[in-house]
Amino acid sequence: MPVEYTSFQDTDLTLPKPSGDIDKDVEFTTPNVDTTKNAVLSFEANPTDGNPTLELSLNGHKIYTRTYFASVERVVQENFPQSILLPTNTLSIRVTGDGSVTTSDYHVIYKSN
């Protein structure tokens, strides 16, 4: 059973944006995904000020929520049920609360058929 990965959103994305937008949808693909195994999402998060809450939803399923209390850049890894992956996926990135978060360098590691 081969292991595959996909990378996306390689550039910095800071939310909320100066225009007031608090969320962004990013599409990515996972060809030949085996939906019987779990997958891993990895990304960089840098809360820049305040106490912002970062929420990630994959294809409408909430997979990560965290309120940050320190401005420390970090790498986050989150396991999730692979059954929510599709050949084409939408990751919804949302920041609420006081402050902002910059994210980048997203990777999904999954098993394929």
Query: pLDDT digit string (tens) for 26-65?
Result: 999 999 999 888 999 999 999 988 899 999 999 999 999 9
Residue 19 has pLDDT above 90, yes or no: no
- pLDDT given for residue 83 in this prediction: 83
Task: Tell me if the pTM is above 0.75.
Answer: yes
Long-range contacts of 4-8 (CB under 8 A, 24+ apart): 4/30, 4/31, 4/32, 4/33, 4/109, 4/110, 4/111, 4/112, 5/107, 5/108, 5/109, 5/110, 6/30, 6/107, 6/108, 6/110, 7/105, 7/106, 7/107, 8/91, 8/106
Domains, the chain, in order of start with CATH, read 3-111 (2.60.120.260)
